[in-house]
Protein backbone atom coordinates (compact mmCIF):
# COMPACT_ATOMS: atom_id res chain seq x y z
CA UNK A 1 0.00 0.00 0.00
CA UNK A 2 1.24 3.48 -0.78
CA UNK A 3 1.59 5.77 2.20
CA UNK A 4 -1.01 8.51 2.47
CA UNK A 5 1.40 11.25 1.38
CA UNK A 6 1.82 9.52 -1.99
CA UNK A 7 -1.90 9.17 -2.77
CA UNK A 8 -4.33 11.40 -4.63
CA UNK A 9 -7.31 11.28 -2.33
CA UNK A 10 -10.33 13.08 -3.73
CA UNK A 11 -12.19 12.50 -6.96
CA UNK A 12 -11.79 16.23 -7.68
CA UNK A 13 -7.99 15.89 -7.60
CA UNK A 14 -8.14 12.88 -9.90
CA UNK A 15 -10.53 14.66 -12.27
CA UNK A 16 -8.21 17.69 -12.43
CA UNK A 17 -5.22 15.51 -13.32
CA UNK A 18 -7.21 13.67 -15.98
CA UNK A 19 -8.54 16.84 -17.62
CA UNK A 20 -5.49 19.11 -17.41
CA UNK A 21 -2.54 16.69 -17.41
CA UNK A 22 -0.28 15.37 -20.15
CA UNK A 23 -0.77 11.72 -21.09
CA UNK A 24 1.39 8.84 -22.29
CA UNK A 25 -0.02 5.57 -23.59
CA UNK A 26 1.10 1.98 -23.82
CA UNK A 27 -0.98 -1.01 -24.90
CA UNK A 28 -1.80 -1.84 -21.26
CA UNK A 29 -1.77 1.54 -19.50
CA UNK A 30 -2.31 5.27 -19.79
CA UNK A 31 -0.27 7.56 -17.54
CA UNK A 32 -1.48 11.13 -16.99
CA UNK A 33 0.71 13.60 -15.09
CA UNK A 34 0.23 17.15 -13.88
CA UNK A 35 2.66 19.21 -11.86
CA UNK A 36 1.95 20.07 -8.23
CA UNK A 37 3.80 22.28 -5.75
CA UNK A 38 4.39 19.55 -3.19
CA UNK A 39 7.64 17.91 -2.08
CA UNK A 40 6.30 14.49 -3.16
CA UNK A 41 4.54 13.00 -6.14
CA UNK A 42 1.05 11.61 -5.61
CA UNK A 43 -0.60 8.71 -7.44
CA UNK A 44 -4.06 7.34 -8.22
CA UNK A 45 -5.06 4.21 -10.10
CA UNK A 46 -8.14 3.55 -12.20
CA UNK A 47 -9.26 0.12 -13.37
CA UNK A 48 -12.60 0.03 -15.19
CA UNK A 49 -15.27 -2.63 -14.71
CA UNK A 50 -14.65 -3.57 -18.34
CA UNK A 51 -11.33 -5.07 -17.24
CA UNK A 52 -12.93 -7.76 -15.09
CA UNK A 53 -14.69 -8.54 -11.85
CA UNK A 54 -13.70 -7.03 -8.49
CA UNK A 55 -11.10 -9.70 -7.78
CA UNK A 56 -9.31 -9.04 -11.08
CA UNK A 57 -9.55 -5.24 -10.77
CA UNK A 58 -8.20 -5.25 -7.21
CA UNK A 59 -5.32 -7.56 -8.15
CA UNK A 60 -4.34 -5.21 -11.00
CA UNK A 61 -4.51 -2.19 -8.68
CA UNK A 62 -2.31 -3.97 -6.12
CA UNK A 63 0.26 -4.76 -8.82
CA UNK A 64 0.19 -1.16 -10.10
CA UNK A 65 0.64 0.23 -6.57
CA UNK A 66 3.54 -2.13 -5.95
CA UNK A 67 5.21 -1.14 -9.23
CA UNK A 68 5.05 2.52 -8.18
CA UNK A 69 5.97 1.87 -4.53
CA UNK A 70 9.10 -0.06 -5.49
CA UNK A 71 10.28 2.91 -7.59
CA UNK A 72 9.37 5.81 -5.28
CA UNK A 73 13.01 6.58 -4.53
CA UNK A 74 13.70 7.17 -8.24
CA UNK A 75 10.50 9.04 -9.15
CA UNK A 76 10.79 12.80 -9.42
CA UNK A 77 8.79 14.79 -6.87
CA UNK A 78 6.23 17.47 -7.63
CA UNK A 79 3.81 15.51 -9.83
CA UNK A 80 0.26 14.22 -9.57
CA UNK A 81 0.02 10.99 -11.57
CA UNK A 82 -3.00 8.98 -12.67
CA UNK A 83 -2.43 5.45 -13.98
CA UNK A 84 -5.36 4.07 -15.99
CA UNK A 85 -5.59 0.41 -16.98
CA UNK A 86 -6.60 -0.35 -20.57
CA UNK A 87 -8.39 -3.50 -21.72
CA UNK A 88 -5.12 -5.05 -22.97
CA UNK A 89 -4.08 -5.49 -19.32
CA UNK A 90 -6.53 -8.38 -18.99
CA UNK A 91 -4.56 -11.59 -18.61
CA UNK A 92 -1.25 -9.79 -17.98
CA UNK A 93 0.89 -10.99 -15.10
CA UNK A 94 2.74 -8.94 -12.51
CA UNK A 95 6.14 -8.79 -14.34
CA UNK A 96 4.48 -7.51 -17.53
CA UNK A 97 2.56 -4.83 -15.65
CA UNK A 98 5.69 -3.86 -13.73
CA UNK A 99 7.61 -3.42 -16.99
CA UNK A 100 4.76 -1.38 -18.54
CA UNK A 101 4.77 0.97 -15.53
CA UNK A 102 8.57 1.33 -15.71
CA UNK A 103 8.44 2.11 -19.43
CA UNK A 104 5.72 4.74 -18.98
CA UNK A 105 7.55 6.40 -16.08
CA UNK A 106 10.65 6.76 -18.25
CA UNK A 107 8.64 7.96 -21.25
CA UNK A 108 6.96 10.62 -19.12
CA UNK A 109 10.35 11.66 -17.65
CA UNK A 110 9.13 10.86 -14.14
CA UNK A 111 11.89 8.44 -13.22
CA UNK A 112 15.42 9.61 -12.54
CA UNK A 113 18.68 7.94 -13.57
CA UNK A 114 18.25 4.64 -11.76
CA UNK A 115 16.44 2.02 -13.82
CA UNK A 116 13.62 -0.07 -12.44
CA UNK A 117 14.38 -3.61 -11.33
CA UNK A 118 12.85 -5.11 -14.45
CA UNK A 119 15.25 -3.80 -17.13
CA UNK A 120 18.92 -3.41 -17.83
CA UNK A 121 20.31 -0.25 -19.41
CA UNK A 122 20.80 -2.07 -22.73
CA UNK A 123 17.12 -3.08 -22.83
CA UNK A 124 16.17 0.49 -21.93
CA UNK A 125 18.09 1.88 -24.90
CA UNK A 126 16.49 -0.51 -27.36
CA UNK A 127 12.93 -0.16 -26.03
CA UNK A 128 12.83 3.55 -25.24
CA UNK A 129 9.91 5.27 -26.99
CA UNK A 130 11.97 8.46 -27.06
CA UNK A 131 14.75 6.84 -29.08
CA UNK A 132 12.09 5.54 -31.48
CA UNK A 133 10.70 9.06 -31.88
CA UNK A 134 14.15 10.48 -32.45
CA UNK A 135 15.07 7.92 -35.10
CA UNK A 136 11.66 8.30 -36.73
CA UNK A 137 12.17 12.07 -36.85
CA UNK A 138 15.57 11.60 -38.49
CA UNK A 139 14.09 9.33 -41.14
CA UNK A 140 11.40 11.89 -41.93
CA UNK A 141 14.05 14.61 -42.43
CA UNK A 142 16.32 12.46 -44.61
Q: What is the pLDDT of residues 73-123, one digit of tens each?
A: 999 999 999 999 999 999 999 999 999 999 999 999 999 764 444 443 333
DSSP letter assigned to residue 4: G
Q: Return the CATH architecture of domain 4-141.
A: 2-Layer Sandwich (3.30)
**pLDDT > 70: what percent of the chain?**
79
As a whole number of angstroms, the distance between CA 25 and CA 2 comes to 23
pTM of the model: 0.78
Q: What kind and span of H or E run contains 133? A: helix 129-141
Mean pLDDT score, 47-71: 97
As a whole number of angstroms, the distance between CA 94 and CA 92 comes to 7
Annotated domain spans of the chain: 4-141
Amino acid sequence: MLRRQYRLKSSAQIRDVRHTGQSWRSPMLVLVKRSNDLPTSRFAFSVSRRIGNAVVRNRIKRWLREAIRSRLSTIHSGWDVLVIARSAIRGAQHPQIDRAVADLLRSAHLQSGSLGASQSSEENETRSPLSCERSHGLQANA
